[in-house]
Amino acid sequence: MNDLKKYIDQNQDRFVKELFDLIRIPSVSAKDEHKPDMLKAANWLKEKLLKEGVDKAEVIETEGHPVVYGEKMLNEAYPTVLVYGHYDVQPAEPLDLWNSPPFEPEIRDGRIYARGANDDKGQMFMHIKAFEYLLATNQLTCNVKFMIEGEEEIGSPSLGKFCEDNKEMLKADVILVSDTSMIAPDTPSITTGLRGLAYMEVEVTGPSHDLHSGLYGGAVDNPVNVLCEMIAQLRDENNHITIPGFYDDVLELSQEERAEMARAPFDLNEFKKGIKIKKEGGEKGYSSSERTGIRPSLDVNGIWGGYTDKGAKTILPSKAYAKISMRLVPHQESKKIEKLFKEYFESIAPETVSVKVEFLHGGEGYVAPTDTIAYQAASKAFEATYGIKPIPVRSGGSIPIISLFEKILGIKSILMGFGLDSDAIHSPNENYSLEQFRKGIETIPHFYKYFAEMSK
Amino acid sequence: MNDLKKYIDQNQDRFVKELFDLIRIPSVSAKDEHKPDMLKAANWLKEKLLKEGVDKAEVIETEGHPVVYGEKMLNEAYPTVLVYGHYDVQPAEPLDLWNSPPFEPEIRDGRIYARGANDDKGQMFMHIKAFEYLLATNQLTCNVKFMIEGEEEIGSPSLGKFCEDNKEMLKADVILVSDTSMIAPDTPSITTGLRGLAYMEVEVTGPSHDLHSGLYGGAVDNPVNVLCEMIAQLRDENNHITIPGFYDDVLELSQEERAEMARAPFDLNEFKKGIKIKKEGGEKGYSSSERTGIRPSLDVNGIWGGYTDKGAKTILPSKAYAKISMRLVPHQESKKIEKLFKEYFESIAPETVSVKVEFLHGGEGYVAPTDTIAYQAASKAFEATYGIKPIPVRSGGSIPIISLFEKILGIKSILMGFGLDSDAIHSPNENYSLEQFRKGIETIPHFYKYFAEMSK
């Protein structure tokens, strides 16, 4: 693959231009009004795969947004790599915090600024470009399948059934995914753990309509105050989550395992500086890396109720709402946590209000072993590009579908991420470094090469 | 005044039509975009007063929205009544809960549905129509001054200075106000107490931007969780407010005074049914009437932060906000309470976040004696219309300007309200009963009559 760097040099501008075309389609899966954009993005990808030379490509309907599937079956004797990615993105709101329009990509200081620049359009597209290189230069030594879904950001509700229905079509030796981050631009890493997720929306209702806070205040329990008091009861002074049974299934790591984890570089001051916080938070007795890597967490993702516009409106609101999610670790099950949360939340509601708890989405955590051929091939591929071995790390994020793949398809995944912590994914001004985009396209072909060699 | 009922019968339709014209002007003082509407409403009132026969009427500029002033000085020997009201209204949001457009009044089941139908356009307009009757039938035996402001719903920030600047012009023997409620359609009452107000907006900031709740959740304190925990610390398990020093100046009533208060009719089941709550709330050791009448309260009027749109966005928000107000009782001072709140709120903030507290508006409570000529005249006026003596009650609401009137102008106010608890003021579907509107116009002339007679 001596020609790899040269090939990228010669084509990088075109690669970025192509990616921009995809980014410009505002494929926000959470919002109904973007349904046509979802289809547009799916069709764009299908056409792109066909152009790159797959044997076939399809936009396959599901109950939600469609899945783009494509395959290049070169030789039955070759190992098969199933590339998974997603073309849907998070909502771009709050729009006023973006320095450039979220769906009009702009390059500043060597970074692409746009919603989806990294997550996951940018990272997923590296695989299509790596495939282009391998095929164009006759160096592809694996069969390749692409499965690019449109519901990752809303919890992949249709992909489980899609996998069940297409087990034969999706048969592969490994699933390759770029939807995670690495430690630093000069410190590659492979994600060997993911957290699960249980995401709820809660509604607290007091009086049947907003009341005058003077005429009623003090005599009627205020659902916003009550919701706050209930949320406050979800964690104790040590930031342990107080839901009974919540920690029952949590996999406790041994001191040895924790010591091993602690070897991964982490600079608390840099961490705090990067997001401008005065002091880190979190559960007592654990390091910051452990708090995201091996411990579950609970966050209010959004809260609203009453008058939120300018000025002073003196109401006692009728309703208060919150979106509350928990990140789970092996072996917590999202369905069980959902039940525990609901029971506890309802149990702490005072008699003065009524409470509704709705489960929005969830999924299980994942742990990948490092002694597989696939992990070793990925490790060598990173080494080929970066000159050093990647560090195995446990990420705090969730890609619920990864554990589903294992359960339904029986295939392990390799999480070969090229994102950086500074990419602001899910936030305003999401960005992706051109250098990382390039390094990804450079690393992936090596994975195919080593995986084929080691599979022999 | 034998012709009073007949006069109203003959003109009631026109009265309502005129009121509708005023209601249609969306004079929301809290919102900048309604500034032209504020001026339009003020000019409409000036023209109306001139048409009714005042000697002069003006729209007087202030630093905020203008004050409409008009006067009819008949005779130096007559007592002077200063009528206070306001032409501004609360914001109409949430609009989707209205059954008819808030600024397009509609009569259903004998009630006018619109923002301002009662508060205070409907009630204030009764005074203009009572004045019309008295002047048209040559029965006015008082001098009358009108002071109708446009900032009551935002705390009357300019009216204090207006009073200071126009002490001579505003000289009067009593201030007459209809901006409160009575107990029930067949149970008239006069408000002898009002609560003060201290209204804050708080902002809690965690990380500099919204973070991915997977990658950071557990290691970074979430400002929404923190805000909830701080709000939860504002009251204890007995619903006492926990701010140190908060109750220091609260006027404690004697057992005799509380027993006297308890004689006012109050049906807890009706109260709960009216606003569809399962159980009343409030401070331990007090009745529902006491909780709004003689005890301070604390309510979150609005809260917001993070993702509040449809679906599940997995962010750890950068900021969380709340509007928090306290109703105060004599002799609490809003400026002192503001300071105590700010100090306490900042003191309970964990080191992981930063906190801002902004004072939005406030004012002092008020207590009116019942042994004055003005109170007795009002009492007899109600008796003339309803056949029974009105009950003196302490309202939980705030009209901060009433205590300012006493302080600056040295004039006591009579709160002669015709609203009903079911009027949903400050809420969607605010309404005002045509019957109450009519009874107000019928009662007010009697006040002038008795006040003139008793002042001799």
Distances (CA, A) of A18 to A44, A102, A108, A122, B393: 10, 17, 18, 10, 73
Number of neighbouring beta carbons within 10 Å of residue A7: 19
Give the span between the Cα atoms of A49 and A128, in whole angstroms.
Answer: 7
* Two tokens, residue A302: 């959004």
Contact A303 B320 (CB under 8 A): yes
CA distance B362 to chain A (A): 10
Distances (CA, A) of A301 to A239, A378, A392, B50, B305: 17, 34, 29, 56, 8
CA distance A181 to chain B (A): 9
pTM of the entire predicted model: 0.81
Query: Taking CB atoms and an 8 Å cutoff, what residues of chain A touch B275?
Result: 207-209, 211, 216, 220
* Two tokens, residue A338: 């959902």
Better-predicted residue by pLDDT, B261 or A38: A38
Query: Taking CB atoms and an 8 Å cutoff, what residues of chain A touch B421?
Result: 215
CA-based nearest residue to B378, from B433, B425, B415, B340: B415
User: Phi and psi for B129 in degrees, rounded to 5?
Assistant: -75, -35
Mean pLDDT of B179-183: 92
- For A313, the closest of B90, B279, B283 (CB atoms) is B90
Query: Taking CB atoms and an 8 Å cutoff, what residues of chain B touch A359?
Result: none
Query: Taking CB atoms and an 8 Å cutoff, what residues of chain B touch A238?
Result: none
Task: Please indicate if any CB of chain A lies within 8 Å of the CB of B181.
Answer: yes
CA distance B20 to chain A (A): 23
pLDDT at B294: 93
Tens digit of pLDDT for each residue in A310-321? 988 899 999 999
Distances (CA, A) of B310 to A323, A334, B53: 10, 21, 56
pLDDT at B374: 97
pLDDT at B368: 87
Minimum CA–CA partner of A181 in chain B: B215
Lowest mean pLDDT among B182-196, B250-264, B290-304, B366-380: B250-264
Peptide bond between residue A209 and the one before it cis (omega within 30 degrees of 0):
no
Residue to mutate among B226, B273, B301, with most A CBs inside 10 A, is B301
**Is 90 exceeded by the pLDDT of residue B265?**
no
Torsion, Cα B413 B419 B423 B426, to 10 degrees, reads: -10
Tens digit of pLDDT for each residue in B207-225? 999 999 998 999 999 999 9
In the block, tokens 């003689």 appear at B294
The letter for the amino acid at B1 is M
Using the Cα atoms of residue A235, residue A238, residue A244 and residue A249 in order, give the sign of their dihedral: positive
Contact B327 A195 (CB under 8 A): no
CA distance A128 to chain B (A): 26
pLDDT at A175: 98
Tens digit of pLDDT for each residue in B42-90? 999 999 999 999 999 999 999 999 999 999 999 999 999 999 999 999 9
Q: Which segment, A420-424, B308-312, B438-442, is predicted with the most confidence on average?
A: B438-442
Tens digit of pLDDT for each residue in A376-400? 999 999 999 999 999 988 888 888 7
Tens digit of pLDDT for each residue in B81-136? 999 999 999 999 989 999 999 999 999 999 999 999 999 999 999 999 999 999 99
pLDDT at B370: 87
**Domains (range + CATH), chain A:** 4-194+365-455 (3.40.630.10), 196-250+296-363 (3.30.70.360)
Distances (CA, A) of B204 to A235, A326, B217, B218, B360: 18, 21, 17, 18, 16
Minimum CA–CA partner of B365 in chain A: A214
Interface of A with B in 371-400 (CB under 8 A): 395-398
**Is 90 exceeded by the pLDDT of residue B264?**
no
pLDDT along chain A (456 residues), means of 10: 96 98 97 97 98 98 98 97 98 94 98 98 98 97 98 92 98 97 92 94 97 94 98 97 98 87 88 95 96 96 96 94 96 96 98 97 88 96 96 86 93 96 92 98 98 96
Contact A325 B213 (CB under 8 A): yes
